[in-house]
Amino acid sequence: MSEWLRKILMVIVLIAVIAGSFWISFMVGKQLLMPTKKLPSNLIPPQLKTEATASDISIEVETDILATPEVSKIVPAPVKTPVKAKVVKPTVLLQVGVFSNHQNATKQAAELKAKGFSASVTKYGKYYRVTAANTTVSALKAAGFEAVVTK
């Protein structure tokens, strides 16, 4: 029972501390936010009392600024004709063979060219790749070649 009483007493003390801190901060803030009192007119320095009158202000007008500017004709910008983008068909490369010997790769490319395919030999690491462009796998198979699609 004393444990329960101790917890209730702790809650009451915490509420009192919180309420007291709010009250103190309110009182301090009230003093800080009080408007300042106005100084009596006899304490204001004389140079601050004077106000400018209409006779003290002079207006100077420059006639050069008010002159009418010359108006030039507006020339429209030339209209540019849009340039049509060149349509590039993606080239499909079909790998027909990979050889470690350059002569064998060249021989394979010559056989492809003899049968009407556009073939090329490219270096691929330590190997030579024979590829055919713009054809189909079925056309190569019909001609007696095996092929796979490459990037």
- The confidence score (pLDDT) of residue 15 equals 96
- The confidence score (pLDDT) of residue 63 equals 57
Judged by DSSP in three states, 24 sits in helix
Whole-angstrom distance, CA of residue 111 vs CA of residue 121? 12
- The confidence score (pLDDT) of residue 17 equals 96
Whole-angstrom distance, CA of residue 69 vs CA of residue 56? 33
Nearest to 10 by CA among 18, 28, 56: 18
Average confidence (pLDDT) per 10 residues, the chain, 151 residues: 88 96 85 67 62 63 62 78 70 81 92 87 89 78 78 66
**pTM, full prediction:** 0.40
Whole-angstrom distance, CA of residue 135 vs CA of residue 92? 8
Assess if CATH 3.30.70.1070 describes domain 93-150. yes
Beta bridge partners of 93: 133, 150
Q: Which residue, chain included where needed, has tokens 């021989």?
A: 107
> What's the Rg (C-alpha) of the chain?
48
